[in-house]
Structure 1
Amino acid sequence: MDLNIKVNEKNHLDIGGADAVDIAEEFGTPTYVIDENRIRDNYNRFYSAFSKYYPDFKVFYACKANTNLAVMKILESEGCCIDAVSPGEVYTAKKLGFDGQRILFTGNNITNEELKFVHEEGAVLNIDSVSALNRLAKIIDPEGVKISFRVNPMVGAGHHDHCITGGVMSKFGIMDSEASEVYQQAKDLGFNPVGMHSHIGSGILDPEPFKLAIESTMDIAGKVHQDVGIDFEFVDFGGGVGIPYTPEEKIVDLDKFAEVNIGLFKEKLEEFDMGSPTMYLEPGRFLVGDASVLLVTVNSVKQSYRKFIGVDAGFHTLLRPAMYDSYHHIVDASKMDAPNTQEVDIAGNVCESGDLFARDRPMPDVEEGDVLGIMNAGAYGFTMSSNYNSRPLASEILVTDGKCQIVRERQSFEDLYAQQIIPDHLK
């Protein structure tokens, strides 16, 4: 088991050298606590594993996982690039010092205004459809503009059906059968297509699906290279490398993952005489998922037909358990050495029956006032949170070598309605 769980001398949960109970007392709950050093370590382990086997390699952080400014700035300082899926993410990346060539924009169902904005910001556009290609050609001067295309490799994988992004049911990318025609069309319009992108899903712990995706994508790229004469500057295989969420899951063997998949990549480059394009990968969850803990406080212990541990957060704070039926390991941060004595349901404070963080979860004798740590909450945690039930958004705390600082203030009730206007006739 490697869930990045550490315990200090008080038998409290340790997050980056800081005491979780002390954090909860100082900053309140619910709050996301981010371990800066863990993010840096995750990035460097990922980059080193792949660049060892193929030096012309770049990491593009899939920032939809966590767009906290401090998180993105940490990765910017490490030399990471950005995978953006919305104009807002492009804007955020530029604000933090990522220049356009370090941003690859892969949108879907994008408007003309958004296409123009992303182009003017200097990001590289990764086109998802023929429609977007034709519309882009009409709203900018396409002559010499470097673009890429997202292709559907007809391989899908992931921890939930909603996270599988390849195959016949996927809304993403151009069809493999039309790739050569579309690249030729782009050239005829004046564009300079230099890249190919694919993505098969999220939360993948097994290198085998990635191997299938690389094989399929490289076969498509090889055909385009031969048919259209495209000399690819890069081939991007997306993200999706997972992390263990349950105690039984094992962490990805990155070295094996890299060796197997880059070996196949090199074989395909040689097979199609494609030279040495840069290899891109787009990890999101792997870089930030286990670097954050959501701290909550137990406000109710209720024995009903079942035993419920009620906490001061809900699916508006962490949506994954309700949306994907995702498992997040939960610890009693106040007494880490206490043995499990019962099975309980850990429930949130939203007025919905589905607002549960866990069913039948083994836990110690949890008491009201205890601080619980919901582990591995750094990816798709805060970014998917909402104001449902008129609940203010949680705060975020960054821990650097044991020192804590606020990197996102908790919302107030006033913040909930700051952008709303009551018409004069209703006043």
Structure 2
Amino acid sequence: MALKVVELFAGVGGFRIGLEGYPRRKDCNYEVIWSNQWEPSTKKQQASRIYKNRWPQAEHSVENIADVVENKWHTIPDHDLLVGGFPCQDYSVATSLKNSEGLIGKKGVLWWSIEAILRKKVNKPKYLLLENVDRLLKSPSKQRGRDFAVMLASLNNLGYAVEWRVINAAEYGMPQRRRRIFILAYHQDSGLYNRMVQTTEKENWLQTDGVFAHAFQIKTFNDNSYQGTLEEDLAAVSATFNLGGKASPFLNSGLMYKGTYVTNKSFPDYTGPRTTLGDILLEESLVPESFFIRDEDIHSPKGWKYLKGAKNEARYNKKLDFHYTYIEGGMVFPEALDNASRTIITKEGGKTPTRFKHVVQQGGRLRRLTPIELERLNMFPDNHTELNGVSATKRAFLMGNALVVGIIDRLGKILDQQIHQKTHTLHREDGL
């Protein structure tokens, strides 16, 4: 029987594609039974329109998940696996649970919607798979690691063990240098929880035995392992964790069980095939003329060449009546095609020259990336975001917010194997 999945902050369905495939794989052992996507301050809700277009029969909610959790959380069905790429926000605790009638954190902070679902469900999901930017491990700047500690303490109080890994997709052969933290959690009623907790040497789980270790192999850890404990009182964690510390105790690999965390720095161990930016480019004849850049936009005073170039120039802040020297390093221009792409961002679309948009050279001319190419950098199907009324600029925005589907594909397959204790069949020659 397929594992039932709830997909939160679904965007255009990156988690779903990674777990189920698109079209759905015959051997898929996951079924998304409910999803939610709601973008604040917009009426058109283009991501949800695309999601519904690709999965017309989906049980898909287009409401603020905080409102759903507060007013009709019972409409979220019981499920085995909860997934989502939730926003990175300030996770500080506003008040303790007993004094807040269920509201632990600040309103509008979407981590607390996840926490509330887990807390309210009698039949809690046995597994979580979450994604976020890697700065989560060291935020906020004035209390390094506090936000992640609050999350770990929350999950511990709800009966979950956790493992995490920061993964750069390009370091495992994928076409984009996109570094994100992925978080797996196992409820105490699951076999994976018991196997992790019973592992005598916890670093063995991180290096060889756990889901991340099988899906994304790493080299032997260095000697900088760190261990600590978390209080149960979330308000106390929020107020005191690593107070005065200059650096976060959380490194790019780690696990937490029964309030104790173990963390170390991992290094990728990958020798398989690699996809480059050049590999994903469309043929020149298929690129609309509007994506090619005019010479005057390249060489104008505020054009592409200037914005991408190195700077050491005098500037003046009129508001503060302040003269200063602005120094900035140059960027590769145009982009190197024999390596993975730089990280794509939400402002990738549009003709206006900027420093961070990608510019490639093709047929002797410079051009921007097309929506299809941006989809390929995240390993989505071609034209996944194509829909009447959705502009190329909006499609670029959606890809800037998306994840690399290939990471979820690998994690999903290994998680399924580990849950059902199947024989491990993914090998390095398969790109692992």
TM-score scaled by structure 2?
0.32
TM-score scaled by structure 1?
0.32
